[in-house]
Amino acid sequence: MDGVLPFSLLCRRPNMLKLADRDVYAITHTIFYVTDFGLRDPVMPRGFQPGEAVELLEALLVLAEARTNADLVASCCAA
């Protein structure tokens, strides 16, 4: 997973306003898998700070709430 992480949507610094629901799921599930569901720290690509992922998740949570998508809200919270 660490080898493909740099090519994921999470690490491409996406414009959250342009993301479809499937993109948000891709980001949250990337976090699930790269952290082995919270059991390990991932090896982040050079230049990518974990705080960026936190900020993105916070913004995506607001977006999911605005879209009234409870499943997406849960996915963002779980990540």
Query: Is-contact 12 27, C-beta < 8 A?
Result: no
Contacts of residue 33, defined as CB under 8 A and 6 or more positions apart, other chains included, come to: 1
The predicted model scores a pTM of 0.87
For 37-77, the pLDDT digits (tens) are 989 988 888 888 888 889 999 999 999 999 999 999 999 99
Cα Rg for the chain, rounded, in angstroms?
Answer: 12
Q: Where are the domains of the chain?
A: 5-78
**What pLDDT score was predicted for residue 8?**
93
For 52-78, b where at least 16 C-beta lie within 10 A, e where not — what string? ebeebbeebbebbeeeeeeebbebbee
Task: Give Cα 67 to chain centroid, integer Å.
Answer: 17
